Chains A and B, each alone.
Chain A
Amino acid sequence: MARFPFSAIVGQDEMKQALLIAAIEPAIGGVMVFGDRGTGKSTAARALASLLPPISAVEDCRYGCVAEERGTCPDPCSSKRIRKRPVPFVDLPLGATEDRVIGALDLEKALRAGEKSFEPGLLAKAHRGFLYIDEINLLEDHLVDLLLDVAASGENVVEREGLSVRHRAKFVLIGSGNPEEGELRPQLLDRFGLSVEVRTPTEIDQRVEIMRRCGEQERDPAAFAESWAKEEVKILRQVARGKTKLAKLETPDAIMQDAAELCLAVGADGLRGELTLMRAARAQAALAGAKTVRREHLIAVAPSALRHRLRRDVLDETGSTVRIARAIDELFG
């Protein structure tokens, strides 16, 4: 059954922008989506994963090795054939055990053959793709620590039960959650590159349009996908072009200056804010097809890159987004 097309998602432009940025610049380090239930968070992430062109990997390799890496995974893989496979999309269920996430001793082999072998977990499955965690704020803290650590280092190191295994695990981490139901520790939030706030659309027209499209999709998924194929190709081209552009994009010193000033003005903690802001601005410029990064790109991504890094005041009700908008106005007029 065909997935809901990425381009057919009504509204939610900030989320779509953040996902596209993460898709062309994995170094950005994940996207955190705050918002109500039923706003198309997981639909958008799934749609993007199935939109992207398939990746090629060694046949049957459980760790998704590319041809040059053949034999370097814990298995090790040996097939000479290279096969295309869809971009992995792993949906981490709430209540997943550590074993299932990082991998564990292969019980069957251990008991029957007395062989100590490693059964890869969800992290291996998500390599080169997306790892989506709904309600990340309800996930056990130690799991969140572990996930963010792996996402940042791009490698999963398992040292337990007499196993000593490491394998590549590079993925775009997408977390979602509703702050009304519990919050994430600031240290963990800071590790996410971008954050977006999604809201349920309130305009009747938009809501009607969403119902219409969902109805059509449920009725005949294939025909619906077909009717959006052209739009999908456009996004695919944008991503492909963005990836090539990103490598040779110029970043003027003035823009870096702007980024530093903005971070200082809003009081973003740490250097990670500036780094992410620059990376996101570059990716945004590449997606737009620009030759150099301009201030407008910086402004477009600033809320996503900085929103979750502002120091929280327990007693201050002013939203982070408002504070950033104010700082942008003051600095850049």
Chain B
Amino acid sequence: MTGAASASDPAADALLAARLLLTSPGTLGGIRLRGAGPARETVIAAMRNAGVKMRRVPSHVDDERLLGGVDIAASLASGRAVYQTGILTEAARDEAILLIPMAERMSDALAGRLIQAMEDDACKLSWILLDDGIDPEEEPPASLLERTAFHCDLSQAEHADAAALPNTGAAMDTSQTAPLDREALTALANTAAALGIHGLRPLIFAQGAACAHAALHQRSNCTEEDLRVAVRLVLAPRATQIPQLEEDAPEPPPPAENSSPDQEPTDNSNPGERALEDVLVEAVQAAIPADLLAQLSGGKVRRQAQSSGAGQKRKSALRGKPLGTRPGLPRGGARLALIDSLRAAVPWQPLRRRELAGDTQTHQIIMRKEDLRVKRFEERMGRVTIFCVDASGSAAAARLAEAKGAVELMLAQVYVTRSEVALIAFRSEGAELLLPPTRSLTRARRALAELPGGGGTPLASGLNMARDLADMIAARGRTPSLVILTDGRGNIAADGSPGRKQAAEDAEAAAKAIHRAGHEALVIDIAARPGPHAPELATSMGARFLALPMADAKMLHAAVAAATSHTSQAAA
């Protein structure tokens, strides 16, 4: 199986990426395999068959196991300090690749440890992230993705049954391949600019991948094919814009502005380069994810997705209000409750001494594993306030500006209390998540400023999206609270078809679903002349209700603050 023949097969690409990773250990980071399915199993099995050593790192791994340290249980049993080596050290020693399942749920802390170990030059680590995320928001920590050279999306891949690791004989040492010349480097840099890739790491990875591919084919100089593979495997999946060659290129996102001016002078000064670049850009066309266009028009840029998979349970052993102790080993950051551990051990001392017959002289306390107690803390869960704003024609005319103002003031307050905000707007045919949960004032402000108004009122879609988001937030161990600003007069049904009657039924169903899910909610009536609709909506939702016929943004803000301060205390 050669690289050229399998250009469009994601599974083959993943295998090629794996081969490159093995060719130059420690410099390319790893591979991200997105999408659970048979294709991914095939890839992993092919690597296993080729004799690649792999070490599984479960997402709940604790620091002691990961980095090594004192093995408390064994130390107590044997009466002397027993040390264990960490998984990272073992993997580096055995030259094994770390296999990380459920990478999209990985905590930032674990990602931090891996990155630190990687940047510590002593051990050469590489990893495979098994990313089961489905939504664009569900992805491994950005800091780790940034340092992972190859991103392979296998979610659309067909089942490939006879895959094998491409192995064209023993690869040369990558240090024996000549470095890329200026022309090749410039072509890579220009290709990255055309794809809207601004970071530098992708470029460095692309260079490394090209050299590795050359070494794999025992070439001492990188050829066009090597560059093409590097661009396809490293740069294409990171594209944030379609290259300019494409006819119906979408509007480039704002940061891309500076890429085209840079491109031109280089092109003019060196016409021979253009050809190579075109080849690379063409190579990329096929490999660009199909949903990129959709993502771009939705205003989403993937790299901004916030990742925080750390659950509430794990954290609660670390900080917060003290809540007594429970039996357990002081691992994973849980703190030993020394006094309670001693107290648990004391009653057993005479018995244990008798057991250790002859050694009755000792004044040491004999501790066993089961005596150990760790502290428990009650932590207030992080709060995420979801603003769901009616931006339809009926609401927009009079109240949208005020609603925006209130949200902005709330943002400033949220910034002080360190909770997060998300913003959903609904208008014309459907609802749109304008801002995934974030703490960033800069982004929130931008999303608000860009909020358009007008069109019908798809109230049900807005409520459904708000509930989905709230469910997701709750599943991650944080507390969502909904603030819904609307006049309550939906006229677009959940399926996007107009009609007041169906719309009202759908909206009521959506509101009841929120009630069943048990999310905190607040409905703010922003109609110019308040009717019965918004209060009815609040009742179905089991939500608090505020009618603010003539309020300005400041009053609205005060009302929201008053209403939500009650709820946040309740959650403490």
Q: Footprint of B on A, CB under 8 Å? A: 1, 3, 36-40, 42, 91, 93-99, 104-105, 107-108, 110-114, 134-135, 137-138, 140-142, 161-162, 179-183, 185, 200-205, 207-208, 210-212, 214-216, 218-220, 314-315
Query: Is the CB–CB distance between B365 and A211 below 8 Å?
Result: no
Interface residues of B in 93-138 (CB under 8 A from A): 107-113, 115-116, 119, 121-122
Q: Which residue of B is nearest A199, CB measured?
A: B198
Between A and B, 18 residue pairs with Cβ closer than 8 Å are A36-B198, A95-B108, A96-B109, A99-B333, A99-B335, A112-B79, A114-B364, A134-B115, A180-B443, A182-B440, A183-B415, A183-B440, A204-B262, A210-B200, A211-B180, A211-B185, A211-B200, A219-B179
Does any Cβ of A come within 8 Å of B445's Cβ? yes
> B108 contacts A315, CB within 8 Å?
no
Q: Is B201 an interface residue (CB 8 A)?
A: yes
Q: Is B175 an interface residue (CB 8 A)?
A: yes
Contacting pair B108 A314 (CB below 8 A): no
Q: Which residue of B lies closest to A10 (CB)?
A: B200
Scoring B residues 439 to 450 as 1 if CB is less than 8 Å from chain A, else 0, what string do you get?
111110100000
A161 to B341, CA, bound (A): 13
Is B458 on the interface with A (CB-CB < 8 A)? no
Seen from chain B, the residues whose Cβ lies within 8 Å of a Cβ on chain A are: 27, 70, 72, 75-76, 79-81, 107-113, 115-116, 119, 121-122, 142-143, 146, 174-175, 179-180, 182, 185-186, 188-190, 192-193, 198-204, 207-208, 211, 258-259, 262-263, 266, 304, 306, 310, 318-319, 330, 333, 335-336, 338, 364-365, 367, 408, 411-412, 415-416, 418, 438-443, 445
Contact of B204 among A93, A161, A214 (CB under 8 A): A214
Determine how close the nearest CB of chain B comes to the CB of A226; give it in whole angstroms. Answer: 16
List chain B residues, Cβ under 8 A from A185.
416
Distance, CA A40 to CA B199, complexed state (A): 10
A207 contacts B189, C-beta separation under 8 Å:
yes
Given the complex, which residues of B lie within 8 Å of A207, measured CB to CB? 189, 192, 200, 203
Give the secondary structure class of B's interface: helix
**B319 contact from A104, A138, A140, Cβ within 8 A:** A140
Nearest to B180 among chain A residues (CB) is A215
B262 contacts A203, CB within 8 Å?
yes
Residues of B within 8 A of A39 (CB): 200
Check A211–B207 contact: CB distance below 8 A. Answer: yes
Residue of A nearest to B418 (CB): A141
Asked if A161 meets B306 with Cβ closer than 8 Å, knowing A94-B108, A208-B185, the reply is no
In the bound complex, residues from chain B placing their C-beta under 8 Å from that of A110 are 336, 338
Q: Is the Cβ of A108 less than 8 Å from the Cβ of B75? A: yes
Q: Are A204 and B266 in contact (CB under 8 A)?
A: yes
Contacts of B76 in A (CB 8 A): 111
Assess whether B112 is in contact with A107, with CB atoms less than 8 Å apart. Answer: no
Q: Is the CB of B263 within 8 A of A204?
A: yes
Complex Cα–Cα for A111 and B71 (A): 12
Question: Residue on A with the closest CB to B262?
Answer: A204
Nearest-CB residue, chain B, relative to A97: B333
Q: Are A214 and B207 in contact (CB under 8 A)?
A: yes
Query: Beyond A202-B259, A314-B411, is A215–B119 a contact (Cβ under 8 Å)?
Result: no
CA distance A212 to B186 in the complex (A): 10
The chain A residue sitting closest to B335, CB to CB, is A99
A-side contacts of B319, CB under 8 Å: 98, 140, 142
| From A96, A138, A212, contact of B179 by CB (8 A) | A212
User: Do the beta carbons of A219 and B262 come within 8 Å of each other?
Assistant: no
Given A42-B119, A107-B72, A97-B182 contact (CB < 8 Å): no
Partner of B189, one of A98, A108, A179, A208: A208
List the A side residues contacting B411 at CB < 8 Å.
314
Say whether A314 contacts B175, CB under 8 Å. no
Check A181 against B193 for contact (C-beta < 8 Å). Answer: no
Q: Is A97 in contact with B211, judged by CB distance below 8 angstroms?
A: no
Nearest to A1 among chain B residues (CB) is B121
Most-contacted residue by chain A among B76, B193, B333, B416 (CB, 10 A): B333
Please report the C-alpha to C-alpha distance between residue A39 and residue B79 in the assembled complex, in whole angstroms. 49
Given A105-B338, A204-B266, CB of A218 within 8 Å of CB of B109: no
- Residues of chain B within 8 A of A94, CB atoms compared: 108-109, 111-112, 143
User: A3 — which chain B residues lie within 8 A by C-beta?
Assistant: 121
- Nearest CB of chain A from residue B188's CB, rounded to whole Å: 7
Q: How far apart sit A186 and B207, CA to CA, in the bound complex (Å)?
A: 40
CA A214 to CA B115, docked complex, whole Å: 18
Neighbour of A200 across the interface among B200, B208, B318, B415, CB < 8 A = B200
Give the residue name and chain of the A residue nearest to B80 (CB).
A112
Q: Which residues of B contact A137 (CB under 8 A)?
A: 439
Residues of B near A203 (CB, < 8 A) are 262
Q: How far is it, in angstroms, between the C-alpha of A215 and the C-alpha of B203 when the chains are bound? A: 10
Cα–Cα distance between A180 and B447 once the two chains are bound (Å): 12
Kindly identify which residue among B108, B109, B207, B330 contacts A215, using a CB–CB cutoff of 8 Å.
B207
Expressed in whole angstroms, the Cα–Cα distance for A199 and B301 within the complex equals 18
Report whether A97 and B318 are in contact in the complex, using a CB–CB cutoff of 8 Å.
yes
Measured in the bound complex, the distance between the Cα atoms of B380 and A142 in whole Å is 14
Top 8 closest A-B pairs, CB basis? A95-B109, A94-B112, A182-B439, A38-B201, A93-B112, A1-B121, A38-B199, A97-B333
The closest CB in chain B to the CB of A99 belongs to B335
* Complex CA–CA separation, A190 to B186 (angstroms): 41
Q: Do A95 and B175 form a contact, CB below 8 Å, given A38-B201, A107-B70, A215-B211?
A: no
Smallest distance from the beta carbon of B493 to chain A beta carbons, Å? 37
Within the complex, the shortest CB–CB distance from A90 to chain B, in Å, comes to 10
Instruction: Check if A93 sits within 8 Å of B113, measured CB to CB.
Output: yes
Given A208-B182, A216-B179, A218-B208, A202 and B109 touching (CB < 8 A)?
no
- List chain A residues, Cβ under 8 A from B412: 314
Report the minimum CB–CB distance from A99 to chain B (whole Å).
Answer: 7
- Tell me if B204 and A211 are in contact (CB < 8 A): yes
Most chain-A Cβ atoms within 10 A of its Cβ — which of B107, B412, B442?
A: B442
A298 to B330, CA, bound (A): 52
Using known A-B contacts A38-B200, A99-B335, A208-B189, determine if residue A202 contacts B262 with beta carbons closer than 8 Å: yes
